[in-house]
Amino acid sequence: MFPAAPLTVLLSLALTSGLASAAQTVRIASYNLRYDSQPDSITVQQSLDNLPDPLQAPTYYGKKGEQPWSTRRIKVYQNLNNEGIILAGFQEALVRQVTDLATLFGDGWGWVGVGRDDGVAAGEFSPIFYKKSDVQLVSNDSFWLSNTPFEPSKFPGAGSFRICTATSLVLKSGPAAPVHFTYLNTHLDDQSDDQRRLAASMMLVRARYEAYKTGGPVIITGDFNSPATGTDSGAYQIITGQIAPVAVNATFAAKYAVPNATLPDFKVLDLKAETPREYVSGEYATYTGFTAPGDGSVYTRIDFVYGGSNGKWTADAYRVGTSLTDDGVLASDHRPVFADITLH
Ligand SMILES: *[C@@H]1O[C@H](CO)[C@@H](O)[C@H](O)[C@H]1NC(C)=O
Ligand SMILES: *[C@@H]1O[C@H](CO)[C@@H](O)[C@H](O)[C@H]1NC(C)=O
Ligand SMILES: *[C@@H]1O[C@H](CO)[C@@H](O)[C@H](O)[C@H]1NC(C)=O
């Protein structure tokens, strides 16, 4: 059980019983789904119809390695559905995966995002899903983490086109409502550290602008394809303000400039470090590959949840879940990351 669940329950009770509360907790998930590398024509309904008898013990660890999305998708959904999330940022989602999750989450959820290869539906999305009863979408856009941010494009030397999905949202419920906040979701390059540094610098520019414009909280989730320390950690160090950003496209910089002396030292904070340690739980690694459990040679923490240094939020709980079930199926080669964030 997620340690902060009782807190959320208490908060909900407090709200429904009319007690005063100045803030509202948002549970957010970041989950790299692993792209649909073994496509087939099995429908979501067929996957649902073929779910095994839940009272029957599986063949323990009977399955090995990567399974098709049609096998993984119900597990991805189940890994999120019972967690009380109201926001989710995914990575590596091909259009089929986006629409499958939209089907599974149902009409109560909305989503935004575009395929990174053409700005429509080609290539992987970094989509943002939101629960409509709790969150209202004000606006959304996408920009490319390249030298030409406003057109589908690839940074020289990068393995793929890379995109950031940006949303302006309003938290609808709670006595402090409406709380206007910003949520950005992304997936940085796996091959080019220069791309990751540029991307982190661009995200910082955009996040600072949103903090300035809305005065509200800014949340970022992403697969940074690089850890928080070591030789590949430039993106993390830039976005968390430990080293200076690199120069970004001038058109982009001008569009998201803030007046002088506004938020001069803006950066983002790693919510895992901002959460009281007693409420940091679950696993350490967020990437496991499709390897045997406990293969420390591939396990790394490369998926993050951040909050803007302009504040207006409190990190209440942080948990890295698991993608592995007893049948041996890994829902993804990453694990879901959950954060409970109170917005003020
Ligand atoms: C997201 O933004 C695009 C571009 O402005 C817009 O066409 C689309 O309707 C928006 N999505 C939603 C769900 O509002
Ligand atoms: C900056 O980005 C804009 C929009 O994508 C593009 O038109 C322009 O050429 C870029 N500038 C440089 C120097 O690449
Ligand atoms: C910001 O400061 C720089 C350097 O002092 C100055 O050249 C520029 O005009 C200022 N911009 C604004 C919008 O005040």
pLDDT of the chain, 344 residues: tens digit per residue: 344 444 443 334 333 333 334 467 899 999 999 999 999 999 999 999 999 999 999 999 999 999 999 999 999 999 999 899 999 999 999 999 999 999 999 999 999 999 999 999 999 999 999 999 999 999 999 999 999 999 999 999 999 999 999 999 999 987 678 999 999 999 999 999 999 999 999 999 999 999 999 999 999 999 999 999 999 999 999 999 999 999 999 999 999 999 987 998 999 999 999 999 999 999 999 999 998 777 788 999 999 999 999 999 999 999 999 999 999 999 999 999 999 999 98
Q: Tokens 């679950």, residue?
A: 282
208 Cα: distance to centroid of ligand 3 (angstroms): 17
Q: Which atom in ligand 2 lies closest to the alpha carbon of residue 153?
A: 5
Q: Which residues contact 96 (CB under 8 A, 6 or more apart)?
A: 36, 39, 69
Q: How confident is the model at residue 92, as a pLDDT?
A: 98
b (16+ CB within 10 A) / e for 233-270: bbbbbbbbeeeebeebbeebeeebebeeeebeebbbbb
DSSP-derived letter for residue 6 is H
Most informative mutation of 209, 212, 260 for ligand 3 (most atoms within 8 A of CB) = 260
One-letter identity of residue 265: D
**Is any atom of ligand 2 closer than 6 Å to the C-beta of 147?**
yes
Report the predicted TM-score, pTM, of the whole model to 2 decimal places.
Answer: 0.92
Q: Report in angstroms the alpha-carbon separations of 90 from 14, 113, 130.
A: 31, 10, 11
What kind of architecture, by CATH, is found in domain 30-39+56-343? 4-Layer Sandwich (3.60)
Q: What tens digit of pLDDT does each residue of 164-222 get? A: 999 999 999 876 789 999 999 999 999 999 999 999 999 999 999 999 999 999 999 99
DSSP-derived letter for residue 191 is S
26 and 84 Cβ atoms separated by less than 8 Å: no
224 and 233 Cβ atoms separated by less than 8 Å: no
Tell me the CA end-to-end span of the chain in Å, nearest whole number: 25
Question: Which three-class secondary structure state does DSSP give residue 47?
Answer: helix
Please choose, from the candidates 165, 166, 146, 143, the residue with its C-alpha nearest in 3D space to the C-alpha of residue 156.
146
- Strands 128-131 and 135-144, bridge-based pairing: unpaired
Q: How confident is the model at residue 23, as a pLDDT?
A: 61
278 Cα: distance to centroid of ligand 2 (angstroms): 46
254 Cα: distance to centroid of ligand 3 (angstroms): 13
Q: Which atom in ligand 3 lies closest to the alpha carbon of residue 257?
A: 13
Tokens of 42: 């099995």
CA–CA dist 79, 72 (Å, integer): 11
CA–CA dist 87, 27 (Å, integer): 7
Q: Tokens 């908060």, residue?
A: 11
Please choose, from the candidates 11, 50, 10, 57, the residue with its C-alpha nearest in 3D space to the C-alpha of residue 171.
11
CA–CA dist 232, 245 (Å, integer): 15
Q: Give the neighbor-by-neighbor strand order of the sheet with 218-223.
A: 135-144, 163-171, 179-187, 218-223, 303-308, 268-270
**C-alpha torsion angle, residues 128, 133, 138, 144 (rounded to 10):** 0
Residue nearest to atom 4 of ligand 3 (CA): 260
Q: Report in angstroms the alpha-carbon separations of 142 from 73, 163, 167, 331.
A: 25, 7, 9, 27
248 Cα: distance to centroid of ligand 2 (angstroms): 10
Q: Which atom in ligand 2 lies closest to the alpha carbon of residue 144?
A: 5
CA–CA dist 216, 169 (Å, integer): 10
Q: Tokens 């959904």, residue?
A: 77
- Strands 218-223 and 303-308, bridge-based pairing: antiparallel
Residue nearest to atom 13 of ligand 2 (CA): 249
Q: How confident is the model at residue 9, as a pLDDT?
A: 39
CA–CA dist 52, 314 (Å, integer): 41
146 Cα: distance to centroid of ligand 2 (angstroms): 9
**Is any atom of ligand 2 closer than 6 Å to the C-beta of 251?**
yes
Most informative mutation of 147, 155, 164 for ligand 2 (most atoms within 8 A of CB) = 147
